[in-house]
Structure 1
């Protein structure tokens, strides 16, 4: 496991946060592998870049006016061309009616190196942080 790989994966996760918060859903989906998956804690699954992009539009444009994804406590493990990562998430948001809130969650992700670049293979989101 190299420090460069860990740094690249952490940067990828930060890009994930910024792109979803900026509403760049196509660019957000492009961070995933072609068959990448996002799994919510209720089992709802979005698979492939087209579904991922639609998830961004359907959920974030319809539910929130603004969001800020803040990830902390990164633990990244690399094994060749695959890796796993775990983060705490604090999601700050404002709804169209002006309601503000914060949600806590845990990300458990897997990554694959594709053509020399790290991509997100799976995101598993669980609300709450296990307190």
Structure 2
């Protein structure tokens, strides 16, 4: 029985990692609807450099504006620590972000603190908070 539990936990860990990777790609590829679909209906996003967004309607408004601010973005995430408890989980990640607009490239390093909830349609973000660690032009 223990191996089945370990296997289930590994599968859930992998699915949460895939959720995070889809977050990065949907921003970088400017796929706003795909981005919003990653969040629960009552999700909260609290970016360190922006206001707080509550619910999918506000999240939709944010992403549709954000993708027009930069010509190109590249999000990379690493060092995940994910704790799973039934249909809920928490995660923390480091992120490296490159943002390009008007011939200027900016580099940022952030920490993500997140909660996830599993429903009939799989794992989704329930909350996402960032802490800016470094932000500079390069």
TM value normalised by structure 1: 0.91
Q: Distance in 1 between matches of 2:32 and 2:121?
A: 23
Q: What pairs up with 1:112-131 in 2 under 5 angstroms?
A: 112-115=117-120, 117-128=122-133
Structure 2, unaligned runs of 5 or more = 1-5
Runs of 5+ consecutive residues of structure 1 not aligned to the other structure: none
Change (3 A) 1:99 1:43: closer
> In structure 2, which of residues 100, 103, 106 is the aligned counterpart of residue 101 of structure 1?
106
Partner of 1:18: 25
Mapped partners of 1:43, 1:27: distance in 2: 21
1:68 to 63, 74, 97: 74
Larger C-alpha radius of gyration, 1 or 2? 2
Number of aligned pairs?
Answer: 127
Give 1 or 2: higher helix fraction: 2
SS in 1 for 2:48: coil
For the aligned residue pairs, the C-alpha RMSD in angstroms reads 1.5
Picking from 91, 94, 110, the partner of 2:97 is 91
Residues 44, 53 of structure 2: 8 Å contact kept: yes
